[in-house]
Amino acid sequence: MSLDNIGVVRSPKGEIELMEKLGEGTFGVVRKGIIKKTGEIAAVKIVSIENDLEVITKEIEFMKKCNHPNVVRYIDTFFETNELWIVMELCDGGSVADIIKYVKPKFHETQIASICHEVLLGLNFLHQNKIIHRDIKCGNLLLLADGKVKLSDFGVAAQLSDNMLKRNTVIGSPYWMAPEVIQEIGYDYKVDIWSLGITLIELAEGKPPLTEIHPLNAIFQIPIREAPRLTDEKNWTENMRDFLAKCLIKDPAKRPTAEDLLQHPFFKNVKPSTSAISELVYQTLTLKAQKQKNKTQTEVSTPKQIVVVNNPFEDDFEDETSSKSTSETETSEDSDDAYENKTMFNEKEAEEEKERIKKFEKMERKDLKDLKAEIQRKKQEEIDAIILKYSKELRPLKHVLKTKNKKGKSNKRK
C-alpha cells in the first residue's frame, strides 16, 4: 500500500502548529498540535516512512472507517520530509492504564462495568464492520478529560471479509492473547472478547494474569491452562463473575459476541464513564503533572542533565542518572510499570528488556510455528500418559473378559 492509496499529498506547513510532546511509541512521537483552520487542539502522531509503511497506512485506513463515539476520531494526514503526520482526536485524559499506575485505585464494580460497557460499544461497532482490534488492554483504552472511553491503536487491527472469515496471524500483546490466536487454528473478532475479559481482571487486580512469568512462557501457558479467574471472587458480584466467565470461554464458538454481552445483567444499572470515572481521571492528571514537575526540578539541579519541558502527559521511564533524592512515591510508581512494559525486571534493566520485547514482536512465523508444535507435543504427551494409565488399569479386566469368552465358546460346543 502506498501513500497515494490514502490520499497523502499535502504538507502540514500552514495547517498544523506543533506543541509539546505527549509521548513516544514504537513507530514515532506523538505531539500536541493546533489545527490552524479550526483552532482545534489535536494529537499528531509523527512517524518516519522508513518504518513499516504498510502497517502505518493500514492503521490510517482503519481509523478512517471508524466513526464512532467510543473510537478515537481520525482527522487528517500530512506528509513532510519523509514523515507522516497523522492527526487524531486528542484524548487529554490519558489512558485507563495511567489511572492504575498513578492513582492505584481499587476500582468499584460500577466503574469496571462502565469501562467494559463502553469498550463493548466500540467493539460492537468494529465487529459489525468486520474489523478485529487484536490488542484490547488498559493501555489502549484512552480517555477524554471528562472520562469518556475511546478505543485506540489500530496498528495490529485486521479486516475480515466475505471471502476471509478468519485470520491466522499471531499478533497482539502476549498476556491478553486469546488461546486460538496462539494456536493458529484460525480466529475471528471473538479474540477481542477474550482480551476484554483479561482487561477486566487488569481493572480489578491492577495487572493481567501470568505477569509473574516471561511473555514467551505466557504464550506457551495460555492455551493449556484453565481460563483465568479473579483472585478473590467473593469480593465481586455473581453478575461480574459470570460476565468474566463468558468472556473467557476457551472455545471461541461458544464465546458470546459483543452484541450479546451488551445485554448481560452486569450492565443493568451501568453509568456513563463520564460520571463513573471522571474524578479518577482528574486525580491522575494532577499526579502526572506533579511527577513531571518534580522530575524537571531534579533535572535542573543535576549537572549534565537536559531540562525537560513541563508536560503532564509524558510517561517515560525515569532516567537512570536521576538524583537519589527521588521520592518513595515515584519509586513505587515506576515499579508498577513492569507488567505494562512486559518486564519482570528492575528499572536499570527496563531498556534492555524493552529491546527484547521488540525482538519478540518481530518474531518470524517459523518461530511461532515451532512454539505451536511444542504445545501440540505437550498435549500429545499428556494424552499418551492418560492412555497408558488406563490401559494398565484395564488389563486385568480384559483378562477376565477373555476368560469368560473362552468359557462361553466351550459351553456352546457342548
For 317-384, the DSSP string reads PPPTTS-TT--HHHHHHHHTTTTTTT--S-GGGHHHHHHHHHHHHT--HHHHHHHHHHHHHHHHHHHH
Where does a domain end: 89, 119, 135? 89
Query: Cα–Cα distance between 312 and 310 in angstroms, integer?
Result: 7
Rounded mean pLDDT, 87-105:
90
**271 in a domain, yes or no?**
yes
Residues of the chain with pLDDT > 90, as a percent, come to: 36
Mean pLDDT of 309-336: 40
More confident residue, 268 or 370: 268
In a domain, 175, yes or no: yes
Beta strand 83-89 with 131-132 is: unpaired
147 & 243 share domain: yes
Q: Of 301, 343, 342, 336, which is closest to residue 315 (Cα–Cα)? A: 336
Domain shared by 75 and 221, yes or no = no
What is the pLDDT, as a whole number, of residue 394?
Answer: 60
Question: Which of 217-221, 226-230, 407-411 is the least confident region?
Answer: 407-411
Centroid of chain to Cα 350? 19
* Residues contributing to the annotated binding site: 45
Give a yes or no: residue 412 inside a domain: no
Select the more confidently predicted residue: 187 or 103.
103
Does 357 map to a domain?
no
119 and 61 fall within a common domain: no
Query: For position 36, which CATH number holds?
Result: 3.30.200.20
Mean pLDDT of the chain: 77
Nearest to 310 by CA among 19, 104, 77, 10: 19
Output the known binding site for ATP. 45
Residues 55, 13: one domain?
yes
In this prediction, what percent of the chain has a pLDDT beyond 70?
Answer: 65
Close Cβ partners of 343 (under 8 Å, ≥ 6 residues apart): 349, 350, 353, 354, 357
Number of domains in the chain: 2
- What pLDDT is recorded for position 311? 40
Collapsing DSSP states into helix, strand and coil, what is residue 16? strand
Does 46 map to a domain? yes
177 shares its domain with 104: yes
Structural domain including 73 reads 3-89
Threshold 0.85, pTM exceeds: no
pLDDT higher for 351 or 306? 351
| 131 and 152 co-located in one domain | yes
Last residue of a domain, one of 278, 312, 341: 278
Phi-psi category of residue 341: left, alpha or beta, with phi > 0 → left and psi -120 to 50 → alpha: alpha
Q: How far is CA 69 from the centre of its chain?
A: 20
258 within 8 A of 123, measured Cβ to Cβ: yes
Same domain, 121 and 260: yes
CA–chain centroid gap for 154, Å, is: 11
Catalytic residues: 135
